[in-house]
Amino acid sequence: MRDNLIPDLTATTNLEAADVLVIGLITADSETEDGEPTLAIGTDLLSDAQAEALSTALTAVGAKGSDGEVTRIPAPADLPVRAVLAVGLGDADALDADPHRRAEKVRRAAGNAARSLTAGESVVSTLSTVDLAGAAEGFALGAYRFDEFQAKKSEPVSAVALVSDDADAAATVARSAAIARAVCVARDFVNTPPSHLYPDEFATRAADLASASGLEVEILEDEQLRAGGYGGIVGVGKGSSRPPRLVRLTYTPASPADPKSVALVGKGVTFDTGGISIKPAAGMEAMTSDMGGAAAVIAATVLAADLQLPVRVTATVPMAENMPSSTAQRPGDVLTQYGGTTVEVLNTDAEGRLILADAIVRACEDEPDYLIDTATLTGAQMVALGTRTPGVMGTEEFRDRVAALSRQAGENGWAMPFPEELRADLKSRVADLANVTNHRWGGMLSAGIFLREFVADGVQWAHVDVAGPAFNQGGGWGYTGKGGTGVPVRTITAVIEDIAANG
């Protein structure tokens, strides 16, 4: 993977000399007479005269401090910088209400700043006086660029100094940098075109990344998958000239001796044409992102090792390319999943659940305490929740825990139900299950209900559908640029950390 995924982040106690000072701006209180926005900056960093001059200059050019606003001005006299970049944080109540909400506000503001900065500029920021971790993650994620296939590179800012008087500032920044780097690893996987990232190459890159962090690696190739009975993975991949893979990555902490265990499963369809049930041509290019779940669990597993979390984490990652050809599976075919369940394939474009089912059964053989699977699984997720809100399903207690932690992490997961009447619609005339229902209603939920059939009894399980959130097809916003987002790396990491702390 690339060495320059994120800028160099450092903590400092002083307002250092730099090209650009990035500060937060809070919306003016409507009850005040002057209507000037408030500078969000630590005490003693500016003199009263400097603060007043800066506030006056920003007000003069119309800065309001609203969410998403970015205002750049020449620095007033006596500041050790050439320019000031003020980013809106919204109203003060939003910053005071909840620490997780405050962190996300700062994360987005820092991301907006990073996306507007240019290469070669030295940067110092006081957003870190509002929330240090949020500022560090926001700058790192907002500075992300993917230009591997462009002749003219778009260089981001390379270094940011974050002002903080926290005694643990260096450790906080280092942790935030590790998290941001993992998110950007997932983004790189998603953004790499399918001409260059196919199952074998994806498996190789994942293995190299994991080995560098000391993880155990196992890769099952096409013949091994056939011999092992992985009918879902083999069935989805059989239409492609580039055969499927199953990658297993295992992180075992040095202590405790008997840690809690978390199994991760991620959908790794490196390109999805829909197979014989082919998708419309318009927008099909976005299906390069159909391995976003796999990218996230690979990155999160490596991150668990890098953070030395006291939890055993095993990723089981099926990888296939879903193509139409004379060898592709057909609507009406019956395949036998790993573990013996037979499935009638009514729609070859509902392929993600077929490879996930194999991987879930294999992951459950390890008898994990918890299982999280994630996938760009259904267009119905976007119909139900939009493009920025993952749907979280599964065993109720763990589902709600994952959704809550996802919102705290800024990835906005939302708990969804499993209506029991939908299970009957997955009955098949000839097999144990059909891979789709005979109607369009509750498509995200019925996909989750299908996967539930393969989860072992007693395993606390959450399924996270990130069909929209994993890939941003619109313009950049906050710390999210166009293309791969890295969702849900931060959610998975938050859950593993919570399990480490609370069991």
The answer to whether 279 is a known catalytic residue is yes
The answer to whether 353 is a known catalytic residue is yes
Per-residue CA distances from 285 to 282, 289, 473 (Å): 8, 9, 11
Per-residue CA distances from 118 to 65, 79, 121, 357 (Å): 22, 20, 6, 45
Contacts 24+ apart (CB under 8 A), 301-304: 301/210, 301/215, 301/249, 301/251, 301/264, 302/182, 302/185, 302/209, 302/210, 302/213, 302/215, 302/249, 302/251, 303/178, 303/179, 303/182, 303/489, 303/493, 304/251, 304/493, 304/496
Q: What is the CA radius of gyration of the chain?
A: 24
Rounded distance between C-alpha atoms, residue 341 and residue 356, angstroms:
13
Q: What is the dihedral of CA 146, 150, 152, 154, to 10 degrees?
A: -10
80: CB partners within 8 A, 6+ apart: 15, 16, 17, 18
Contacts 24+ apart (CB under 8 A), 209-215: 209/1, 209/185, 209/298, 209/302, 210/249, 210/298, 210/301, 210/302, 213/251, 213/302, 213/305, 213/306, 214/251, 214/305, 215/249, 215/250, 215/251, 215/301, 215/302, 215/305
Considering 175, 226, 279, 388, which one is annotated as catalytic?
Answer: 279
**3 state DSSP class of 394:** strand
Give me the residues paired with residue 90 across strands: 26
Rounded distance between C-alpha atoms, residue 209 and residue 11, angstroms:
28
Considering 107, 353, 399, 490, which one is annotated as catalytic?
Answer: 353
281: CB partners within 8 A, 6+ apart: none
DSSP 8-state class, residue 420: G
Give every strand in the sheet of 334-336, ordered side by side. 334-336, 342-344, 433-434
Q: Hey, which residues are catalytic here? A: 279, 353
